[in-house]
Chains A and B, each alone.
Chain A
Amino acid sequence: MSVFQAEAFVVGLKEGTKVAFAYLFVRAYLDSCNKKYLLRFLWAAFFIVFTVSLFSLKFPDAPQTKDLLTKAVGYNFALLYMLSLGLLYSKTGVDIWGPLKALFRKRFIEVLILILLVTVFALPDLSATVVYTKSQVRLKESILPALNLLMALLIAFCLFYLFLRKKTSFLSKMVELPELILVLALIKLAGGGTGGFANLSLIPTVQNGLTKLIHDIVHQTFITIMVPDHPILKTTTWNFIGIFFSQKVALWISLVVLFLPLGAFLISYLNKPIEVPEEIELPARRRKFIRSVKNRRLLHTMPVVLFMFFILSNWFVEKGQEGLRLYNPEPQPLVAESDRVIIPISSPGTDLRDGLVHKYTVEIDGENIRFLIIKRDDGTLVACLDACEICPPDGYAQAEGHMVCLYCRTPINIQSLGKAGGCNPIPLKALVTDKDVQIKVSELLEKWNLVKTGKSKVTIKR
């Protein structure tokens, strides 16, 4: 079995497991609240969503499509997570729904919500899998990866279903609606990656989103208290400020942001006063009742604890390393051919798809223009100038999992390369063929001018 086929098989297993787990938990929930009639709607909704996802075969097999679908998967995970938080919050005794509560009990609304949930949960993931399979089939020029994926999907689903279907009575004790939604969010988090082996879980996407939020808040606070955001300060002050912008601090704060509402729920839910019905008079029975409520509550907190445990055990695996070793290769000189520079994807000793940054320099009209090419997490190649619009053009180096601006030490998410603005390297329009990457000379010159002539520069006239 080739790597392509093995990858397709693993993706199939992952998707099958996701669907099986989700189905089992939903079924357990429907069992527990005597709403088995919704099962047929669940299957119908899943069938519709599956059919709709097949339309994504019509999507172009382009990085933009994959980017869009990755965003959709991440977005829907966040929606499910937020919804579960809201429901958990209401479970602590706060009435957040008000008059809407009566509306939710109507059958029609229940079915509608179920269809919506299935769509939110499954549509982007299924579409991403369809697009992934399509690209594998195209790359391999064979239907085998698709067959492998389908086979693995069915195997995983059947195995997990057969193995776990007897456990639904236990599961039904564990999940009410908030826990169910949280479990669905967890399933997406664990297996929502859309990039094959390179990206099986959604953890990096969630980390990037949260660290960006933390960075934005810190930056806005610094703007308000008028701290310069470039190293004009004394080194000690700058290093102190750098702590707040560091990836590690952002990761810790992100973890707190994720854990805080769940932790608050656990404290609040487990400490919620227990009201013993008046008709239970015997102290022994009252104690028994209290014990049973406490046990039930403990069972209900299991999915929350599981969610927290999963995040905690994965959070620092990829990005929690201590020392930052920078990889900054010497730029290789290139010569422009007619109106463009051409860089072969694979040449003796070099492969642009090796995940390392590749730097080049080309002399055009007496200018030495530096640029870089790197493979992003989604497998696409991206070309950028080795400079941004803000800092002096010191360039970038590669650290563990991200790029670093050598001037201001800002960490740049590799997946965000190709997007303009801020401290991101200036993106270059490049034609990526099967054999090479081609960049027009005019494009290089135009973008290099952005580096040379700072936009904010003004001359003092006397």
Chain B
Amino acid sequence: MKTVLKNIYNLLGSKALTFWMIGLFIFYYLTVAVWSKEAFGRFIQYISSNNLARALYIIFFVNVTLRIIKSLYGLKNRPGRLLLRLPLFLGIVLFLFSSFMSVNTRQSKWELLGEGDLLVLPWESLKFRVVRIESALKRDLLRMDDSLLFDYEPFITLIDTGGRQYRIGAFPPKKAGTTYMHILNFGLAPGVELRRDGKTLLKGEVALRLVPFGSVDSFELKGFNYTVYLHILPNRIIRRGQEVARNYDITAPLYQVEVLKGETTVFRGTSKQPILFDGYELVLYPPTFWVLLEVAHDPFYMAFIVALGLLIVGVVPFLISFLHKKAKA
């Protein structure tokens, strides 16, 4: 029994096993990448859902860990070299561990939010309300052909049920309660009202992809068989020689509007004129903002970041120790 255990231990800590495991991964990657596609994406999917893939990953992890422990143990009389190699070795072990755990335990969602919306997450005891969205665009902006897409990084301010406020940007993610959050996208949500004979039939804000300006997006008037296509036009065009600048006022944008009933266009024009069709009137109000927030519950997020840091920081001292050893030899 003891011999069997020793053999298993020796096998798990062997270079040959590392070789075969890496070889197996490369063979898998190569085959899937060439004959199918998205080999890496599938690999991540497998280690988060397939028990065989998980078992193989764990064997590899144990193998690497044992070899690193053996290697560090062998350096017990050489504290200098041990110290130089420790960050990289720790980084490798932590990276393998945290990425596996992160893939297997992470719960995440994308939430489209406007001001005043409530954010309720299944894993979070706290609830959050959107207090404010800070625009990524200037109020009154001038666009050249080579202008940046956004002028600022957008921010969203949330308040939780305990009254704590969180101001969240695009990167790095901020922790609110037990959840990591960051903004993935930002856009405009024009106010829309559908009227008939002075009576409001529908009213609300619609999140659309209208940025960069000129992008066409559409929405349906729920319950009515109409589709509205919108894009933003410049409020003013300024030409100086070859240069063309477009002025947009996002507090009062000018829209190109097209309303379709089935496949028939019932209105086409700009929002300067009243949008009238089939006895209905569509009124567009100044837009509010929306953000696409990525929220994730991942207990191993920080460990992964630390692992990345150790890997990056650990390479140089490892190389120094390696080259020093070779020079001595």
Contacts and interface: CB of A to CB of B under 8 A. Distances in A.
A452 interface: yes
Interface residues of A, number: 51
Contact of A457 (B20, B40, B209): B209
Contacts of A235: 148
B133 to A, nearest CB: 12
Nearest to B19: A96
Contact of A232 (B150, B209, B216, B217): B150
Contacts of A221: 308
A277 interface: no
Contacts of A267: 326
Interface string B227-249: 00100000000000000000000
A217 interface: yes
B112 interface: yes
A217 B40 contact: yes
Interface in B190-221: 203-209, 211-212, 215-219
B75 interface: no
B250 to A, nearest CB: 16
B160 interface: no
Interface string A360-398: 000001100000000000000000000000001110000
Given A226-B171, A460-B117, A462-B204, A216 B30 contact: no
Interface stretch (A73-81, A178-186, A195-203, A346-354): A73-81
Q: Which secondary structure dominates where chain A touches chain B?
A: loop
Interface in B138-173: 148-150, 152-154, 170-173
Interface string B298-329: 00010011001000000000000000001001
Nearest to A222: B171
A213 B29 CA distance: 9
A75 B204 contact: no
Contacts of B136: 232
B281 interface: no
Residue with the highest number of chain A CB atoms closer than 10 Å, among B99, B215, B265: B215
B112 A458 contact: yes
Given A233-B153, A452-B217, A461-B204, A227 B20 contact: no
B41 A216 contact: yes
Given A213-B40, A225-B308, A226-B171, A392 B209 contact: yes
Given A234-B152, A419-B37, A459-B206, 17 more contacts: A71-B34, A78-B34, A96-B15, A213-B40, A224-B99, A225-B308, A226-B173, A228-B171, A231-B148, A231-B149, A232-B154, A234-B153, A392-B215, A452-B217, A453-B217, A460-B189, A461-B204
Interface of A: 71, 74-75, 78-79, 82, 86, 89, 94-96, 98, 209, 212-213, 216-217, 220-221, 224-228, 230-235, 237, 267, 271, 365-366, 392-394, 407, 419, 421, 452-454, 456-462
